[in-house]
Amino acid sequence: MLYEKERQEVVETCQFMVKENLVVGTAGNVSVRIGDHVVISPSGVDYDTMVAEDVVVYDMDGNHVEGKLKPSSELPLHIAVYESTDAQAVTHNHAYASTALGLVVDEIPPSHYYSGMLGGIIRVAPYAEFGTDQLAINVAKALEGRSGALMKNHGAITLGPNLKKAVNLLPILEYTCEIQLRAMATGAPISLLSQEQIDSAVVGMSTYGKQPGRDED
């Protein structure tokens, strides 16, 4: 079986999203890029029972390479992200706060310094039907210079150099959206950070949690 290790990582990432309440049912999808191949979660398979063999492999032109099941309907979206960025992994979810906030804003202003972990002001890609080329185009544009974005009337997406780093951004994005929603609900003015403050926070976070003698991913 091609890419057995990576296919197992896709399974474990999908199961992590369920555990963290980042998806409902089988919504959302996960992929890893390996050269000209995309290892992606299958369509409509229960994450709790998913196994590595269920995960499928396609090339960057959308042609089937290996696997018996149908790929996620968002395969065009994943390919578009890989073509327009240097990402090696993509995670997409339908969590509550990020989905709700995407209904009412076109971008998330810098109300929390966590936005710096995603590249700055978080954009909301205009709505397009799931699985379409237009959605892929909209999301790729929203991700320019960013490692995360929202999708209007849909959900959220994050990317990274590997699956662990990509999926670990999903809870951060969800937290940022939850904070913004709660602040908006008060009706009071929302305090925003300057670009200089965001940039300074990014520098500080770059060494946070790194301890001498411990391996880093």
User: What pLDDT band is residue 27 in, cutting at 50, 70 and 90?
Assistant: confident
Digit-coded pLDDT (tens) for 73-84: 999 999 999 999
Instruction: Give the residue-averaged pLDDT of 195-199.
Output: 90
Torsion angle, alpha carbons of 169, 16, 80, 26, to 10: -130
Provide mean pLDDT across the span 185-196.
Answer: 95
Q: Which H, E and C letters describe the chain, residue by residue?
A: CCCHHHHHHHHHHHHHHHHCCCCCCCCCEEEEEECCEEEECECCCCCCCCCHHHCEEEECCCCEEECCCCECCCHHHHHHHHHHCCCCEEEEECCHHHHHHCCCCCEECCCCHHHHHHCCCEEEECCCCCCCHHHHHHHHHHCCCCCEEEECCCEEEEEECCHHHHHHHHHHHHHHHHHHHHHHHHCCCCCCCCHHHHHHHHHHHCCCCCCCCCCCC
42 located within any domain = yes
- Structural domain contains residue 70: yes
pLDDT tops 90 at residue 211: no
**Residue 24, pLDDT above cutoff 90:** no
- pLDDT band at residue 216 under the 50/70/90 scheme: low
25 in any annotated domain: yes
Residues 31, 163: Cα–Cα separation, whole Å: 8
Please state the φ and ψ torsions of residue 85, each to the nearest 5 degrees: -135, 175
Q: Are 66 and 121 in contact (CB under 8 A)?
A: no
pLDDT at residue 204, as a whole number: 80
Can 107 be counted among the known catalytic residues? no
Per the structure, how many domains does the chain have? 1
Average pLDDT, the chain: 93
Residue at 8 is within a domain: yes
**Residue from 74, 107, 144, 178 carrying the catalytic annotation:** 74
What percentage of the chain reaches a pLDDT higher than 70?
Answer: 94
Q: What is the pTM of this model?
A: 0.91
CATH of the domain at 150: 3.40.225.10
- At 174-183, the pLDDT tens digits run 999 999 999 9
Q: What is the pLDDT of residue 13?
A: 97
Query: What six digits make up the tokens of 87?
Result: 């990402």
Q: Using 50, 70 and 90 to split pLDDT, how confident is the model at 212?
A: low
Specify the residue for token string 């929203």: 142
Full residue range of the structural domain in which residue 61 is found: 4-203
210 part of a folded domain: no
pLDDT in tens, 97-133: 999 999 999 999 999 999 999 999 999 999 999 989 9
Whether pLDDT at 215 is above 80:
no
Q: Is residue 212 part of a domain?
A: no
209 located within any domain: no
Q: Does the residue 57 lie in any domain?
A: yes
- Render pLDDT for 30-60 as a digit per residue (tens, 0 to 9): 999 999 999 999 999 999 999 999 999 999 9
pLDDT reading at 190 higher than 70: yes
